[in-house]
């Protein structure tokens, strides 16, 4: 795991508060990966917030080796595995607080063929779904961008491989309950671009 004290760019960092406000703020931002001159990226179209007092949050029972990055500086990537898939979060709040925003879905904007190739490799040579099914889920987008546990703890700043960029305009955001969890199901902590075909559900 690599640690960094760097935070998000000032223009975005200044507008990120706790995970709940950040989950809305990150909609429309760009998440991507640079590999030399090759770039794979997409617009964030769906997020979920996880706060320290949230029973569905990995930080609810305190800091562990697995969730240590969740207690890092805002703008750090927190990556974990579930059912052999990777999920990627953006850490928010002050260091030590233990909160983050799960990135649930992307609309690809660059490197579409690279994303398709990455998903095919991750699926053991089987042809993976394309089109709207390429990145419409947290595990799918991690495959498409090559996000693994090696990215846990990295800072999502400009010159790194994995990066986060501010949005150019504020999209229309809808709110709902989170999906795929057994605790905290009543909380309306899921945010998504209304009408986007890239949203996971």
Q: Please report which helix (H) or strand (E) contains residue 20, including its range.
A: helix 19-25
At residue 134, the pLDDT reads 94
Tokens of 19: 């995970």
Positions in the chain short of pLDDT 70: 1-16, 125-128, 157-158
At residue 159, the pLDDT reads 73
Mean residue pLDDT across the chain: 88
Q: What is the largest CA-CA distance in the chain?
A: 44
Tokens of 15: 């507008």
At residue 169, the pLDDT reads 86
At residue 180, the pLDDT reads 84
β-bridge partners, 80: 87
What domains are there in the chain, each with its CATH number? 10-193 (3.10.300.10)
Enumerate residues 6+ apart whose C-beta is below 8 A from 200: 46, 104, 105, 136, 137, 138, 179
- How many whole angstroms separate alpha carbon 64 and alpha carbon 44? 28
110-121 tens-digit pLDDT: 999 999 999 988
The verdict on pTM exceeding 0.85 is yes
């Amino acid at each position: 795991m690599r640690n960094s004290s760097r935070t998000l760019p000032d223009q975005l960092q200044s507008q990120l508060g706790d995970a709940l406000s950040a989950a809305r703020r990150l909609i429309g931002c760009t998440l991507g990966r640079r590999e030399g001159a090759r770039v794979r990226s997409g617009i964030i179209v769906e997020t979920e917030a996880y706060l320290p007092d949230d029973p569905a949050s990995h930080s609810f029972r305190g800091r562990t080796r697995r969730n240590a990055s969740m207690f890092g500086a805002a703008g750090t990537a927190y990556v974990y595995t579930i059912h052999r898939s990777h999920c990627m979060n953006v850490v928010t709040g002050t260091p030590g607080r233990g909160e983050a925003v799960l990135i649930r879905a992307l609309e690809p904007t660059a490197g579409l063929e690279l994303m398709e190739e990455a998903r095919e490799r991750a699926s053991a040579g089987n042809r993976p779904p394309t089109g709207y099914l390429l990145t419409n889920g947290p595990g799918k987008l991690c495959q498409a961008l090559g996000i693994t546990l090696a990215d846990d703890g990295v800072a999502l700043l400009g010159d790194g491989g994995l990066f986060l960029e501010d949005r150019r305009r504020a999209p229309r955001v809808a709110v709902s309950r989170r999906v795929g969890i057994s605790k905290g199901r009543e909380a309306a902590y899921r945010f998504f671009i209304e009408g986007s075909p890239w949203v996971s559900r």
